[in-house]
Structure 1
Amino acid sequence: MNQYNQQTAIGFLGGTFDPIHFGHLRPALEISTALALQKLYVMPNHIAPHKKSSQANAQQRSEMVRLAIQDQANIEIDTRELNRHAKSYTIDTLKE
């Protein structure tokens, strides 16, 4: 048993996911297991603060994430950053 309370241990993974790939998913799975997270929320953003543009639009990237995590019971998509019409910063998301 680790030091984290399994009832409240959650994680967040944000990014543009343009496209989502194994380099995103493998660390997410490893961290989720290592920390015994109850849930890991994958949050594609609408406007990335560090990129000029994305190849896929927000809806396409959201659907790619949904497909990539569909077989992972403890991983869910969180669309709050997709609903923003400004750049997304982690601190703002955590405050929500």
Structure 2
Amino acid sequence: MNTLAQIAAHAPHDGWGWGGGPGWFVIFPILWFLLIVAVVVLIARAARRGFRQGPPWARQAGTDPVAILGERYARGEIDESEYRSRLAVLRGSTEPGGRTN
């Protein structure tokens, strides 16, 4: 008596197929809420870090002049006096000690 046509005719009413049941009325709002919270958190983190910097994977490493100067000093390309005088110039002071006039 149970033919394939009878099973197919009753499938949506018996919980077969794409129905899902009443549990989906609870799960979908929770999933939407979690998605919205995730988007808000990501936007807040980006705003805190500053949108102008761009995403971490797109930033160019080593473009900070002070960092480049520190790397040159660490490699031994410049000595301490040259490092301090150039650092003072980068920070906007005229004295080698880093003090502003």
TM range (shorter): under 0.3
Structure with higher RCO (Cα < 8 A, 6+ apart): 1
Of Structure 1 and Structure 2, which has the larger fraction of its residues in strand? 1
Report the TM-score, using the length of structure 1 for normalisation. 0.22
Of Structure 1 and Structure 2, which has the larger fraction of its residues in helix? 2
Report the TM-score, using the length of structure 2 for normalisation. 0.21
Compare CA radii of gyration and give the structure with the larger one: 2
